């Protein structure tokens, strides 16, 4: 059993400064002994005929005993910190992410991010939780160095407030890029460890589109990632990371004996690796049974992130556990399965040029015919303001008449248009330039003119709908993903009755997927261009499938990664 001498007692020790932890712990033990003595006295009192005073003494002593036991239980709870920065960044987009783009939770606010850590939850009772800071942003362009340094400094400051810790729950996405810095998540954990030390057990949960460098693998003890894309199991995965951490602390097993890491030289976009379809469905179906084996703590497969250019950008398999042979053979098998399936990964919906998608949609009587405007998907790292697709739509004759097929376009940022629409009001005619404020590489800002059909005011991001012909263009103050049916209903649409809906997205998230009549993905321009062979990679490790289609069989070596327990901390 691990000793959590750093519990509530630890705090006292730190506060008093001069009082050694050991002394405090001894003090607690002495209290228990005293209470035990008191119990013996109670027995004697009983023997000597019960009197009122004796009964009162019994009550007082029992209360004292229970209080002592309860205090000790509190003191024995492990002290666990929570920290992390989560973002996915395309470095093939001119967009930049700054501190304003992050939503930051500190201290107790962090609990609201995790339903399994609600106040009355079982897991909440099992530890003395000390959340430091969690910063999260919608995917976007590269994080500026200044922003990253500020987020790290703020995180470390919060962590310093509650030292020492028995463990850390490290919650990251894994595909952050920072100007002038490789492997930011590996850097972040090292800098956190400089503050919390190397003894604290670290459990990490990631997105399966994150990257796992050897440095990150080395500096985390338990590590896992989602097993579903779309990420319907995100919360379940985070819960697993926390449960595994508590289990290792409670049983006193601590660090896993073995952490196996395998590089799989494959780099694929999420749009080809959804677990809703083969071969990713079967590949990921093997993960839970693999993790359930005797001697294995967890198993995970990372697809990796395709729109950044570092040596760490490739797929990885990791397995952690105490049985060397099972850990090794499981990691090898999952990696081999992935490699063997490499030729079968295809786009998860029919994929074609924008014109071909529109032709198909115009001929179809299925409503709504969904088209993904994939190249500028803001939730994969696109700027979200590329006007190339909108410009093509405005050129097409089919949508010029109000009686033409109803097409909803979601969406284009255009703060000037929003301002004009607000001033002019519903039903007014307006005209303004929209889009291409961040990414104008494919098309300059587009002059959009039409009727103000809907206004949804908000403190953070007002949306307006501008109608021109049969096009209904959603214009926002800031870029915004449209992932829910309610996003459309909130703007007065009955989305299931529209003929065509275009969204800046890759694979359809569940809510909009469920309302589709049909669906195609358009190979449009933007920061997350799906034609990877066209991207100007220079630093990724080659050969890499499918960029090097005829590459030789890779070794798929299992690397046993050590935890830096012995390093000074």
- For Zn ion, the binding residues (CB under 5 A) are 207, 209
State in angstroms the smallest separation of the CB of 305 from Zn ion.
Answer: 8
Give whichever of 156 and 503 is closer to Zn ion, judged by the CB atom: 503
Nearest approach, Cβ of 94 to Zn ion (angstroms)? 22
Give the nearer residue to Zn ion in terms of CB position, either 174 or 469.
Answer: 174
Query: Which residue matches tokens 């960044």?
Result: 89
Between 207 and 529, name the residue whose CB sits nearer to Zn ion. Answer: 207
Minimum Å gap between C-beta 330 and Zn ion is 23
CB of 22 to Zn ion, least distance (A): 46
**Residue 225: CB minimum distance to Zn ion, A:** 9
Burial of residue 547 (number of CB atoms within 10 Å: 0-12, 13-18, 19+): middle
Nearest distance, CB of residue 381 and Zn ion, angstroms = 11
Token pair in block for residue 146: 């200044």
Q: Identify whether the C-beta of residue 197 lies closer than 8 Å to the C-beta of residue 164.
A: yes
Spatial strand order of the sheet with 96-97 comes to 89-90, 140-143, 96-97
The smaller minimum CB distance to Zn ion, of residues 209 and 420, is found at: 209
Measured from the CB atom, the residue of 10 and 139 that comes closer to Zn ion is 139
Q: What is the CA radius of gyration of the chain?
A: 28
> To the nearest whole angstrom, how small is the minimum distance from the Cβ of residue 306 to Zn ion?
11
* Comparison of 273 and 477: residue with beta carbon closer to Zn ion: 273
CA angle 519, 520, 524 (to 5 degrees): 140
Q: How far is Cα 414 from Cα 411, in angstroms, rounded to an integer?
A: 10
Q: What are the helix (H) ranges across 77-201?
A: 122-125, 145-160, 184-196
Q: 């209360």: which residue's tokens?
A: 63
Which whole-number Å values give the CA distances from 540 to 199, 228, 301, 311, 559, in the listed order? 33, 25, 19, 4, 20
Q: Between 379 and 387, whose beta carbon lies closer to Zn ion?
A: 379
25/532 with CB nearer Zn ion: 532
Nearest distance in Å: CB 464, Zn ion: 30
Question: How far is Cα 388 from Cα 393, in angstroms, rounded to an integer?
Answer: 9
Which residues, listed in sequence order, are joined to residue 432 by a DSSP beta bridge? 448
Token pair for 233: 């199991």
CB of 416 to Zn ion, least distance (A): 33
Distance, in Å, from the CA atom of 214 to the CA atom of 558, rounded to the nearest integer, reads 12
Q: By the 8 A CB rule, do 218 and 193 touch?
A: no
Q: Encode 290-344 in three state secondary structure.
A: HHCCCCEEEEEEECCCCCCCCCCCCEEEEEEECCHHHHHHHHHHHHHHHHHCHHH
What size, in residues, is the chain?
569
Between CA 85 and CA 525 the distance in angstroms is 29
Name 215's Cβ contacts closer than 8 Å, sequence gap at least 6: 183, 186, 190
Nearest position to Zn ion, beta carbon: 209
Could you tell me the two tokens for 192? 């956190």
Minimum CB distance to Zn ion, residue 404 (Å): 36
* Cβ at position 229, least distance to Zn ion in Å: 6
Which residue number, 166 or 171, has a Cβ lying nearer to Zn ion? Answer: 171
| Signed CA dihedral, 227, 231, 237, 238: sign only | positive
Q: How far is the CB of 254 from Zn ion (least distance, A)?
A: 30
d(CA 464, CA 434): 12
Closest distance of CB 89 from Zn ion, Å: 12
Closest to Zn ion by CB, 372 or 470: 372
**Measuring CA to CA, how many Å separate 398 from each of 75, 404, 409, 469, 471?**
71, 6, 15, 9, 10
Q: Decide: 387 and 443 in contact? Cβ < 8 Å.
A: yes
Nearer to Zn ion, 88 or 453 (CB): 88
Considering the complex, what minimum distance in angstroms separates the CB of residue 209 from Zn ion? 4
In the complex with Zn ion, the residue whose CB is nearer, 147 or 211, is: 211
Which CA distances in Å does 560 have to 154, 220, 290, 325, 456?
Answer: 33, 13, 18, 11, 54
By beta-carbon proximity to Zn ion, the closer residue of 228 and 424 is: 228
CA distance 269 to 523: 13
Q: Which residue lies nearer to Zn ion by CB, 304 or 526?
A: 304
């Amino acid at each position: 059993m691990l000793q959590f001498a750093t519990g509530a007692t630890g705090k006292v020790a730190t506060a008093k400064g001069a009082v050694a932890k050991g002394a405090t712990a001894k003090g607690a033990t002495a209290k228990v002994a005293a209470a035990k003595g008191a119990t013996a006295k109670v027995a004697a009192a009983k023997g000597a005929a019960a009197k009122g005073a004796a009964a009162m003494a019994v009550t007082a002593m029992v209360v004292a005993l229970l209080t002592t036991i309860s205090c000790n239980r509190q003191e024995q709870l492990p002290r666990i910190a929570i920290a992390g920065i989560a973002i996915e960044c395309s470095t093939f987009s001119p967009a930049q992410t700054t501190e304003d783009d992050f939503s930051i939770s500190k201290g107790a606010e962090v609990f609201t991010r995790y339903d399994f850590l609600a106040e009355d939850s079982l897991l909440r009772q099992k530890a003395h939780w000390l959340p430091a800071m969690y910063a999260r942003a919608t995917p976007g362009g590269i994080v500026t160095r200044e922003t990253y340094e500020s987020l790290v400094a703020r995180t470390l400051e919060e962590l310093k407030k509650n030292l020492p810790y028995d463990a850390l729950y490290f919650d990251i996405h894994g595909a952050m890029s920072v100007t002038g810095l490789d492997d930011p998540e590996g850097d972040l954990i090292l800098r956190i460890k400089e503050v919390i030390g190397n003894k604290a057990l670290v459990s990490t949960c990631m997105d399966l589109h994150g990257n796992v460098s050897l440095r990150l693998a080395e500096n985390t003890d338990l590590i896992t990632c989602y097993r579903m894309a779309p990420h319907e199991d995100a919360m379940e995965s985070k819960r697993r990371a926390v449960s595994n951490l508590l289990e290792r602390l409670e049983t006193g097993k601590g660090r896993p004996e073995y952490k196996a890491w395998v590089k799989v030289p494959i780099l694929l976009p999420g749009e080809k690796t959804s677990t809703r379809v083969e071969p990713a469905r079967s590949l990921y179906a093997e993960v839970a049974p693999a993790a359930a084996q005797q001697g294995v703590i967890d198993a995970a497969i990372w697809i990796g992130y395709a729109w950044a250019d570092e040596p760490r950008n490739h797929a990885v398999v990791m397995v952690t556990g105490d049985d060397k042979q099972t850990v090794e053979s499981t990691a090898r098998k999952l990696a081999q399965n992935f490699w063997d399936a490499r030729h079968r990964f295809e786009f998860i919906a029919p994929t074609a040029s924008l014109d071909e998608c529109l032709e198909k949609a115009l001929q179809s009587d299925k409503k709504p015919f969904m088209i993904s405007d994939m190249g500028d998907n803001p939730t994969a790292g696109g700027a979200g303001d590329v006007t190339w697709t909108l410009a093509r739509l405005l050129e097409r004759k089919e949508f010029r008449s109000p009686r033409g097929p109803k097409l909803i376009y979601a969406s284009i940022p255009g703060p000037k248009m929003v301002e004009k629409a607000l001033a002019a009001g519903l039903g007014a005619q307006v005209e303004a330039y929209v889009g291409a404020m961040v990414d104008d590489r494919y098309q300059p800002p587009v002059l959009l003119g039409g009727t103000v059909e809907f206004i949804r005011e908000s403190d953070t991001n007002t949306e307006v709908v501008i109608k021109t012909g049969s096009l209904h263009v959603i214009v926002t103050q800031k870029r915004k993903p449209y992932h829910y049916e309610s996003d459309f209903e909130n703007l007065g649409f009955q989305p299931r009755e529209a003929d065509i809906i275009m969204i800046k997205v890759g694979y359809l998230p569940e809510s909009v997927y469920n309302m589709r009549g049909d669906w195609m993905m358009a190979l449009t321009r933007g920061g997350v261009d799906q034609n990877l062979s066209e991207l100007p990679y220079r630093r990724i490790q080659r050969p890499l499938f499918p960029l090097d289609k005829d590459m030789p069989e890779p070794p798929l070596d299992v690397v046993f990664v050590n935890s830096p327990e012995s390093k000074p901390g």
